């Protein structure tokens, strides 16, 4: 896994993109995570007074921190690939404003399947800030949206789908919350139905984005250089290793 992470770091550096309002959801904590990992590695190798139990505890913490960093890097690559394949869709979300005229930050996390609730493959939170129904709110604060994508083979298509929800919900938050409450309040959670009844405008936009991304992707494959395709094969190996938590 160390070799995979090294290759991933090289790939990310070579394909580096400065993201504006689409953010890596792991980003706010990544520097602290890296510092903690560094400190724990030093402690494990230099402190000869540690008991066997203490060493085991430290190793478990190290595994979790490495896992966090791996998914941060995978999310970076997911966003890089999406922008490369479908720049127009990416830029629409990257510059998206709410009904108050403020740009909304969209935080994306690429996560293990077992972290997704109710077996959903992709989710977009739906909430407003305090008494302002036009200002989106997530765990990242006001004027933010939280998107989570399961680490499956069609992650980019799922991201396009969730971006479609974001595209509609951000500028229409107040009316959509009312719509959502009216049509789904009596429904038990079903990820294939909630947000996707026959006349749900957010669901329609999500399918539109998904279909548009598919067209971009098919066109991209026809012109993608061999170097990119080889990199894709390597990244798939990295993804599989990450899912198995192999370090």
Domain positions in the chain are: 1-247
Q: What value does the mean pLDDT of the chain take?
A: 82
Band of the pLDDT at 5, cuts 50, 70, 90? very low
pLDDT at 12 over 70: no
Q: How far is CA 147 from CA 45, 215, 221, 232, in A?
A: 38, 22, 26, 23
pLDDT at 93 over 90: yes
Q: How far is CA 168 from CA 65, 124, 203, in A?
A: 35, 12, 9
pLDDT at 195: 58
**The Cα angle at residue 102 between residues 97 and 107, in degrees rounded to 5:** 65
46: its two tokens: 């230099």
Q: How far is CA 60 from CA 56, 68, 122, in A?
A: 6, 13, 28
């399918």: which residue's tokens?
207
pLDDT at 1: 44
Residue 221: φ, ψ to 5°: -60, -30
235: its two tokens: 């990244």
């598919």: which residue's tokens?
214
pLDDT at 189 over 60: no
pLDDT at 21: 87
The separation between CA 103 and the C-alpha centre of its own chain, rounded to angstroms, equals 19
Rounded CA-CA distance 201/203 in Å is: 5
pTM of the predicted structure, to 2 decimals: 0.81
DSSP bridge pairs for 147: 108, 124
Band of the pLDDT at 90, cuts 50, 70, 90? very high
Residue 110: φ, ψ to 5°: -95, 115
DSSP bridge pairs for 124: 147
- Other Cβ atoms within 10 Å of 71 Cβ, number: 22
Average pLDDT over residues 198-226: 88
Give the pLDDT confidence of 21-60 residue by residue, as tens digits: 899 999 999 999 999 999 999 999 888 888 899 989 999 9
pLDDT at 226 over 80: no
Average pLDDT over residues 160-187: 89
């Amino acid at each position: 896994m160390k070799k995979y992470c090294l290759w991933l770091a090289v790939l990310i550096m070579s394909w580096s993109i400065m993201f504006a309002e689409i953010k890596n959801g792991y980003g706010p904590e990544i520097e602290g995570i890296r510092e903690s990992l560094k400190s724990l590695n030093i402690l494990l190798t230099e402190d000869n007074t540690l008991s066997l139990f203490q060493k085991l505890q430290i190793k478990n913490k190290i595994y979790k921190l490495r896992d966090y960093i791996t998914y941060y890097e995978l999310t970076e690559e997911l966003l890089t690939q999406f922008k490369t394949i479908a720049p127009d869709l990416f830029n629409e979300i990257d510059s998206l404003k709410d009904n108050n005229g403020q740009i909304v930050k969209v935080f994306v996390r690429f996560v293990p399947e077992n972290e997704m609730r109710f077996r959903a493959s992709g989710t977009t939170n739906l909430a407003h800030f305090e008494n302002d129904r036009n200002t989106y709110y997530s765990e990242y604060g006001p004027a933010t949206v939280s998107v989570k994508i399961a680490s499956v083979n069609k992650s980019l298509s799922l991201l396009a789908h969730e971006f479609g929800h974001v595209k509609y919900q951000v500028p229409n938050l107040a009316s959509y919350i009312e719509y959502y409450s009216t049509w789904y309040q009596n429904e038990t959670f079903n990820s294939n139905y909630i947000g996707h009844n026959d006349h749900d405008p957010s669901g329609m936009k999500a399918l539109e984005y998904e279909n548009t991304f598919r067209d971009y992707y098919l066109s991209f494959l026809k012109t993608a250089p061999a170097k990119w395709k080889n990199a894709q094969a390597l990244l798939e190996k990295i993804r599989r290793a990450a899912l198995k938590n192999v370090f």
